[in-house]
Amino acid sequence: MALVGLAAFLLAACGRAPGPNASAEVAMPEVFWNSATVYFLLTDRFHNGDPTNDRALGRAQDGAVLRSFQGGDLVGVLRKLEEGYFDALGVDALWLTPFVQQIHGSVDEGTGKTYGFHGYWTRDWTAVEPALGTAEDLRSLVDAAHRRGIRVLMDAVLNHTGPVTPEDPQWPDEWVRTGPRCVYRDYATTVDCTLVANLPDILTDRDDPVELPRLLTETWQEEGRLDQELAELDDFFERTGHPRAPRYYIIKWLTDWVREFGFDGYRMDTAKHIEEAVSAALKREAEQAFADWKEAHPDQVLDDLPFYMMGEVYNYELDHGRDFDFGDRTVDFFDYGYDGLINFGFKRDAAGSMDDLFARYSAALGDGELRGLAILNYISSHDDGAPYDPDRADPVGAGTRLLLAPGGAQIYYGDELARPLKAEGAQGDATLRSVMNWQDLERGGPTAEILDHWQKLGRFRRTHPAVGAGTHRRLQADPYIFSRTLETDDLVDRVLVAMDQGEGSKTIPVFGLFPDGTEMVDAYSGATGTVVDGRIALSSEYGLVLLGRSQ
């Protein structure tokens, strides 16, 4: 193992972040994001670090099962960050559900009385949701993540406001449409429509100037920041020359968080429900905001990796390549500011042969249509009712598939602890959003063993960008052995993964990947060995062996 790799491994093994990893290729952001492990969490459901904000805004705990705010907050995420929880998992980036202020009331969409705990029901894009904490809590969290070399993605919602409730008036008609409902037959019935009955859709296609809603001006007046907010908007419209149309107000508000806090990228919510040109406009402003933040905070800049925008184009999958089909029109979202898209096909693809999965993904990302672009794979998420392994029957095998697949890996909070995806009494997507099962981890036993597996694979991914971004090659069918090789101008990284090996002593052919005499550490067990006559002899209690070498 080369010194760089060894140092990174030892640091990672000690539970400390190795810092920005070797994959932070300036010229090749896709290498970083395809080898990245992104940890996605619902802030309200992860960890309660500050009980004083649990009843913010006087919201009641009268929602249906798992549909009220549950107490998790930004300070809770910070605590876990400081404990080294994410470092130990090899996490490269955090993706938090939206933190902007949510509707104060609740609605029932047919799955029970629900509050905006999930963050997708915006009331005020300029304020932090008080149940999640304060702007200072958010700053502390982003700064602490950056100090550990972990990036933070902001979940950005531009398509809709929150639902209308007795406490949350509808935005003016110049801002939103309240019908028709989307029926997804073609482009217009996907974009110019409301996702559900009571979810006003921002008129993202209109250029007519609009005034601010009274809801906002009155609130800002009470909070003593009206003049500042208005002055900032004047500056924004003057600088950009954009019309005072709804989408540009929101672009201003969304990019302010980047400019002030240094978010490294967006996860764009409901990306296929806004005109792709709107995404492109947002990206341009976000890049400017990120550059402004870097200039103002030179000591906090991690590296030259550009601002990243990843889209939730619901039902997009790797096999679609660059064309997403609306029925009457295809759109190449990668042409409109998106560097990466969430891969909704992984959960199904993962059910087949592991080598078919790996080979197909490697080919698509390596020399195929997606060359130079990024995807994000997942096995479960907050709104996918058909996750891989819904019963958590094999959380170890799920981790193997997700974390060893080419492409970025999204760990949805609790994948690594087999947090149940079925919650008694919960209706609809609430069942996917239970409170993090820290108590199972504290009990040790099987949950701790599952986490240990995910941690080892996650750190291997982080240390070796070839795992997610390298070229896949099957070396042996049975027992299965494969390699990944990544060669860039600055780095040559090679890994070999052997599965289904016997417990105890084993001799593994390395197929010329590592020269004779190479001393190696198995990243899964910590066992050491030396390559002799094209083979390495190791002893460990595991069937999985992870070998890697960077130059």
Catalytic residue numbers, as ranges = 269, 312
Q: Among residues 307 and 324, whose Cβ is nearest to Ca ion?
A: 324
CA dihedral 445, 449, 450, 452 (to 10 degrees): 140
What is the closest distance, in whole angstroms, from the C-beta atom of residue 185 to Ca ion in the complex? Answer: 15
What is the closest distance, in whole angstroms, from the C-beta atom of residue 308 to Ca ion in the complex? Answer: 23
The closest of 261, 159, 170 to 205, measured between CA atoms, is: 159
Q: Among residues 159 and 165, whose Cβ is nearest to Ca ion?
A: 159
**93 class by beta-carbon count within 10 Å (0-12 exposed, 13-18 middle, 19+ buried):** buried
Q: Are 527 and 521 in contact (CB under 8 A)?
A: yes
The closest of 319, 317, 307, 309 to 274, measured between CA atoms, is: 309
Q: Give the x-and-dash track for 220-259 against Ca ion (CB under 5 A).
A: ----------------------------------------
Q: DSSP alpha helices (H): ranges in 14-167?
A: 29-35, 43-46, 74-83, 85-88, 135-147
- Contact between 272 and Ca ion by CB under 5 A: the answer reads no
Q: In this structure, what DSSP letter does residue 194 have? A: B
Q: Angle formed by the axes of helices 276-296 and 246-261, to 10°? A: 30
Residue 283 structure tokens: 């990206």
Pairing mode of beta strands 492-498, 481-487: antiparallel
- Contact between 54 and Ca ion by CB under 5 A: the answer reads yes
User: What's the per-residue H, E or C state across 17-44?
Assistant: CCCCCCCCCCCCHHHHHHHCEEEEECHH
Cα separation, 307 vs 337, in Å, equals: 10
- Size of interface with Ca ion, in residues (CB under 5 A): 9
- Contact between 116 and Ca ion by CB under 5 A: the answer reads no
Q: Among residues 77 and 357, whose Cβ is nearest to Ca ion?
A: 77
- Contact between 53 and Ca ion by CB under 5 A: the answer reads yes
Q: Among residues 181 and 284, whose Cβ is nearest to Ca ion?
A: 181
Q: What are phi and psi of 271, to 5 degrees?
A: -65, -30
What is the closest distance, in whole angstroms, from the C-beta atom of residue 328 to Ca ion in the complex? Answer: 16
What is the closest distance, in whole angstroms, from the C-beta atom of residue 270 to Ca ion in the complex? Answer: 7
* Distance in angstroms between the alpha carbons of the first and the last residue of the chain: 9
Restricted to residues 61-80, the positions that interact with Ca ion (CB under 5 A) are 71, 73
Binding part of the chain for Ca ion, among 266-274, 301-309, 457-465, 520-528 by CB under 5 A, reads 266-274
Kindly tell me which residue out of 273, 320, 360, 506 binds Ca ion, with binding defined by CB under 5 A.
273
Kindly tell me which residue out of 25, 30, 50, 155 binds Ca ion, with binding defined by CB under 5 A.
50
- Contact between 48 and Ca ion by CB under 5 A: the answer reads yes
What is the closest distance, in whole angstroms, from the C-beta atom of residue 434 to Ca ion in the complex? Answer: 17
Half-sphere CA count of 23, side-chain side, radius 13 A: 28
Amino acid identity, position 89: L
Kindly tell me which residue out of 159, 255, 431, 434 binds Ca ion, with binding defined by CB under 5 A.
159
Q: Among residues 130 and 345, whose Cβ is nearest to Ca ion?
A: 130
What is the closest distance, in whole angstroms, from the C-beta atom of residue 52 to Ca ion in the complex? Answer: 7
Q: In this structure, what DSSP letter does residue 165 have? A: B
Interior angle at CA 350, CA 349 and CA 355, nearest 5: 95
What is the closest distance, in whole angstroms, from the C-beta atom of residue 311 to Ca ion in the complex? Answer: 14
- Contact between 122 and Ca ion by CB under 5 A: the answer reads no
Restricted to residues 383-402, the positions that interact with Ca ion (CB under 5 A) are none
- Contact between 201 and Ca ion by CB under 5 A: the answer reads yes
Q: Among residues 77 and 212, whose Cβ is nearest to Ca ion?
A: 77
Q: Among residues 50 and 87, whose Cβ is nearest to Ca ion?
A: 50
Binding part of the chain for Ca ion, among 194-202, 254-262, 426-434, 461-469 by CB under 5 A, reads 194-202
What is the closest distance, in whole angstroms, from the C-beta atom of residue 160 to Ca ion in the complex? Answer: 7
Pairing mode of beta strands 107-108, 471-476: unpaired
Cα separation, 460 vs 482, in Å, equals: 15
The closest of 140, 144, 134 to 85, measured between CA atoms, is: 144
Q: Among residues 329 and 348, whose Cβ is nearest to Ca ion?
A: 329
Binding part of the chain for Ca ion, among 144-152, 157-165, 461-469, 494-502 by CB under 5 A, reads 157-165
Pairing mode of beta strands 265-268, 151-156: parallel
Q: What is the binding site for Ca ion (CB under 5 A)?
A: 48, 50, 53-54, 71, 73, 159, 201, 273
